[in-house]
Amino acid sequence: MPAWAGAQAVSGEEAAALQALREAEQALFRPVSSAHTTAGATPRVMDRVPSALSSDAPAPTPVVARGQTDLQWLRGIALPDLPLRWDERVVRFLEYFRTDPRGRQLMSGWIQRSTRYGAMIDRELANARLPRDLRCVAMAESGFDPTVRSYAGAAGMWQFVPRTGEQYGLTRTHWVDQRNDPIRSTRAAAGYLSDLHRRLGSWELALAAYNMGYGAMARSIRKYNTNDFWALARLESGLPFETTVYVSKILACAIVMRNPERFGFAELTRDTPIEIEEVTVSGGVQLSTLARAAGMRTQDLSALNPELLRGRTPPGAEYAVRIPRDRMETFARAWARVRPRDHTFGTHVVRFGESLSDVAWAYRTTEEALRELNELADPSDVTAGLALVVPAGTPRQRSSSARREVVSVPATVIEVPGRRRVFYPVGGGESLDDVATFFDVSVDDIRRWNALDPQARLVSDMVLQLFVDPSRDVSQTVVLTPDDVRVLVVGTEEFFEYHETQAGRVRLRYIVQPGDTLGSLAERFGRRIGDLARINRFSRRSAVVPGQELVIYADPTRVPSAGLSVPTDGATPSPARANAPAGADDDDDGGDDLDDDDDGEDPSDPRALEDEDEDDRDPDPHPEVG
């Protein structure tokens, strides 16, 4: 069987094996006595280590270790190229790997698999001028499995957490997680270990910081005022238990790797090194298509490219895919025939504020189809900058000529000197912080420019007025310019005239005459009592008095002398419904109707939660051009 065949089967087994090792560590290493947790305590070392074995660390006074056995079998072993101190934990790990069936099984799998990526790891460590035995970090972290993920969110052969991975150049998107890339993650690990050693000066501290984090290690050093790892390992709250075991485990692994015959592993059959070539293909190509061209199983190709999370190359730019060297000739012959069949899809990069429904409409498909094609399990997966696989073709554009977007703004802000005015339609789901961050403005500025409560949520289809730096690139967002909109200042005559004309009504100012009541006025102007109360901000049970001025949104057929006002942008108003009976609670002729409560809508009425009236809804929110 080729070296690359069946490689994918390792992941689940190795995750279980590493968990078993964690449990074994808990059993092997019980808490140390309080007598050894003072600042002056020396590390516990073995008193019968053969004298021929040397250590780069200073030799402290020997202390008899509990349950100690004869260690003469260690005489003459090859030492690692990492500094070695014969701590009790190191020896216990060596005995675990030498005599315990569980430890032997675990180490056998690691050694067998070590040759799969061993040459590549050795090359990257050598290029960074690092000790070769740092390869045992990958052994202890993942058992050389590039697909392992921890409960804490670490991933890959070197178990990078997201933040550290990004700091060392490992990209993580919906499509790719380069922490799983054996080559890139090894290169990143070499850089990280180099930096830790440069900062801390000892490999014991560098390895401990790799496990617990540099910041936590630095705080511990400052707290106890010692930079001796072995001293910190014995102090109360000096280091996490896992970290104290971690360094000893890596040193023990390095000894075993240098001396497989002394531990009974010399006869193991080791994996054949994986020999690969990289081929550059276009974005969005399915691995199944590439595997078919190479004459191999998709799962085997996926195992060689474990950073690809969705079974295809990331949409957009070209991508280098690893293919077995012995399949390159087959691939080269077949790819020219297979490649044209994979061009039925294109790429769309989601803009800030753009929803999946917007993308689906633009490419004449459905949200469900896009979710399936892009393996989108949750709406929150659709974020700005995400590259989506979409049907090939030119996307439709929303019509901007039929009717300009109407935007309502407060009267308090007109212009901000030195800034460019733009308008951002809220898509739904984004927060005020998200908008502020994207446009590089403050939350307080957005609040003032739009009369917003910073604690309240943004509602979809709101349009925010923003004043951005003229040099700010807004091409990657859904944004409107002043030429795209008609701006209405809230509370002005133009504002009310537009909205009431759109609703098929006329706005009047009426002086109450003797004998008028809310009921008679409602009947006269084709409204309901609750409508008049809401418009004028008083209770529907209030009495009106002669001389009082009321604002009325009237049915134009009830005002013979008044005609419909036509909006200045040329839009045709909705036809008014005549003869609407006053007080008919089951009739809904506008967005300002109230139910039979005193001052507003009944919260138990489902209509109170509707965005707008049925007759006012646009049946096609995305009209086609032309």
Residue 324: inside a domain, yes or no?
Answer: yes
586 and 517 within one domain: yes
192 and 158 within one domain: yes
329 and 378 within one domain: no
Pairing, β 485-489 against β 405-409: parallel
| pLDDT of res. 550 | 94
Residue 268: inside a domain, yes or no?
Answer: no
Q: What's the pLDDT band for 570 if we cut at 50, 70, 90?
A: very low
235 and 102 within one domain: yes
Residue 31: inside a domain, yes or no?
Answer: yes
**Residues forming beta bridges with residue 87, ordered by sequence position:** 45
Minimal CA–CA distance to 457: which of 428, 423, 477, 437?
Answer: 428
Hey, what long-range contacts does 152-157 have (CB within 8 A, 24 or more apart)? 154/179, 155/179, 155/180, 156/180, 156/181, 156/185, 157/117, 157/182, 157/185, 157/186
416 and 331 within one domain: no
Percent of the chain with pLDDT over 90: 51
Higher pLDDT, 566 or 402: 402
CA distance 622 to 399: 8
CA distance 536 to 126: 81
Q: What's the pLDDT band for 69 if we cut at 50, 70, 90?
A: low
Residue 516: inside a domain, yes or no?
Answer: yes
Q: What's the pLDDT band for 15 if we cut at 50, 70, 90?
A: low
Mind listing the pLDDT tens digit for each residue in 484-509? 889 999 989 999 998 998 899 999 89
**Residue 311 to residues 156, 175, 283, 340, Cα–Cα distance (Å):** 17, 9, 12, 18
What mean pLDDT value characterizes the chain?
80
423 and 300 within one domain: no
Higher pLDDT, 334 or 41: 334
Angle of helix 135-142 relative to helix 101-127, nearest 10 degrees, comes to 140
| pLDDT of res. 389 | 84
Residue 432's H or E segment, with its range, is: helix 432-439
| Listed residues 218, 240, 263: the one ending a domain | 263
How many Cα neighbours within 13 Å face the side chain of 187? 8
**Residue 199 to residues 194, 207, 423, Cα–Cα distance (Å):** 9, 12, 48
CA distance 610 to 618: 14
For residue 385, the SS3 value is coil
| Listed residues 202, 230, 263: the one ending a domain | 263
| pLDDT of res. 98 | 94
| pLDDT of res. 599 | 42
CA distance 84 to 258: 13
457 and 418 within one domain: yes
Spell out the alpha helix ranges (H) of 128-240.
135-142, 162-167, 182-200, 203-212, 214-224, 229-234
Mind listing the pLDDT tens digit for each residue in 119-176? 999 999 999 999 999 999 999 999 999 999 988 899 999 999 999 999 999 999 999 9
For residue 509, the SS3 value is strand
Q: What's the pLDDT band for 352 if we cut at 50, 70, 90?
A: confident
Residue 7: inside a domain, yes or no?
Answer: no
Q: Is the pLDDT of residue 183 over 70?
A: yes
The encoded tokens of residue 30 equal: 């019980």
Amino acid, single-letter form, for residue 157: M
Residue 271: inside a domain, yes or no?
Answer: no
Higher pLDDT, 303 or 16: 303
Range of the domain at 526: 494-610
CA dihedral 220, 224, 225, 227 (to 10 degrees): -60
Q: Is the pLDDT of residue 199 over 90?
A: yes
132 and 243 within one domain: yes
Mind listing the pLDDT tens digit for each residue in 386-409? 888 888 877 877 655 445 789 999
Higher pLDDT, 529 or 599: 529
**Residues whose CB is less than 8 angstroms from the CB of residue 270 and which lie 6 or more positions away in sequence, other chains included:** 111, 112, 114, 115
Count structural domains, the chain: 5
Amino acid, single-letter form, for residue 539: S
Average pLDDT over residues 424-433: 85
CA distance 556 to 503: 11
Q: What's the pLDDT band for 267 if we cut at 50, 70, 90?
A: confident
Higher pLDDT, 201 or 387: 201
For residue 536, the SS3 value is helix
Spell out the alpha helix ranges (H) of 201-297.
203-212, 214-224, 229-234, 241-258, 287-294
φ/ψ (deg, to 5) at 131: -55, 135
For residue 349, the SS3 value is strand
| pLDDT of res. 42 | 39
User: Which range, of 30-44, 182-196, 234-248, 365-379, averages the lowest pLDDT?
Assistant: 30-44
**Residues whose CB is less than 8 angstroms from the CB of residue 589 and which lie 6 or more positions away in sequence, other chains included:** 526, 555, 577, 580, 613, 615
**Which domain CATH number covers 381?**
3.10.350.10
| pLDDT of res. 560 | 65
Hey, what long-range contacts does 206-213 have (CB within 8 A, 24 or more apart)? 207/137, 207/246, 207/247, 207/250, 208/232, 208/239, 208/243, 208/246, 208/247, 210/137, 211/240, 211/242, 211/243, 211/246, 211/247, 212/239, 212/240, 212/242, 212/243
| pLDDT of res. 2 | 59
CA distance 398 to 383: 21
46 and 178 within one domain: yes
232 and 120 within one domain: yes
Most confident of 35-49, 244-258, 419-433, 559-573: 244-258
Residue 541: inside a domain, yes or no?
Answer: yes
91 and 176 within one domain: yes
CA distance 603 to 606: 7
- Enter the pTM of the model: 0.64
308 and 222 within one domain: no
Residue 399: inside a domain, yes or no?
Answer: no
**Which domain CATH number covers 111?**
1.10.530.10
**Residues forming beta bridges with residue 319, ordered by sequence position:** 281
| Listed residues 425, 457, 487: the one ending a domain | 487
The encoded tokens of residue 528 equal: 């309901």
Higher pLDDT, 323 or 605: 323
Percent of the chain with pLDDT over 70: 76
Average pLDDT over residues 464-475: 90
